[in-house]
Amino acid sequence: MNKNVIHINCDLGEGGGADAELMPFLSACNIACGGHYGDLQSIAHTVELAMNHGVKIGAHPAYPDRENFGRKTMDISLDALQHTLIEQILRIKAQTEKRGGQLHHVKPHGALYNDIVKDSAKAAVVVNSIVEVDDHLILFAPPQAVVRDLAKGKLKVWTEGFMDRGYNADFSLVARKRPGAVLQTKEAVFKRALSLAMTNSIFTINNQRLHADFDTVCLHSDTENAVEILQYVYEKLTEHHIRIFK
């Protein structure tokens, strides 16, 4: 990222209730498509909010597993996975274009996002699903993920970092049930955001520095006090002469 600019994305349309308050501080949003959460009403509402604030719109497809909010690996055939991913992405695309907007990117959700780091078969399905819908869409993906290699020559990939999640030494996220999985204070989240913006680096839970060329930074909307945290991050970044990319 340019050291004077930060690109912030957030997973929205997930029933959190704070989407409208978060939207002014975002560059992009990832809208739940009906896999782990969401329906046409929530999609339409979130799309309209994003367009009103000049926020880029992305699809946030997941395993079709509402019971576990898409956060557990699902035993599903590759054909069935591709069918649901295409269906989910098209929901966002249709609602966006209906309102005169354009779908910008795709960011897989939860367990699927984690699985395509190492599972080449599922990673290929994700890439192929996006290409079938629109090969101009950008894929948001973590560093050092197999999906990145499979996307070469097919899709543009943006590297994503998390300002509110703990990292292991291999760039994987700390499991949510473990201590240090979620950064709890606004000061800690800002420190991470500043590090990502200024040095393209993060510190692991064991205080090891990791480097990657990050293109976008995520804050989860279901992080406790997400609005207060993001407002604080915005104010502190402004003090450091770093603006939110629009």
pLDDT tens, position by position, 76-94? 999 999 999 999 999 999 9
Mean pLDDT of the residues in the chain: 96
pLDDT at residue 176, rounded to an integer? 87
Residues 6 or more apart whose Cβ sits within 8 Å of residue 21:
227
Residue 238 to residues 190, 224, 225, 244: CA-CA distances in angstroms?
11, 23, 20, 9
pLDDT at residue 1, rounded to an integer? 74
Residues 6 or more apart whose Cβ sits within 8 Å of residue 96:
47, 51, 57, 102, 103
Percent of the chain with pLDDT over 70: 100
- pLDDT, tens digit, for every residue of 178-198? 999 999 899 999 999 999 999
Domains in the chain: ranges and CATH: 5-244 (3.20.20.370)
- pLDDT, tens digit, for every residue of 166-176? 999 999 999 88
What integer is the mean pLDDT of 214-234?
95
pLDDT over 90 at 224, yes or no = no
Q: How large is the angle between the packed helices 226-239 and 186-199, nearest 10 degrees?
A: 50
pLDDT at residue 215, rounded to an integer? 97
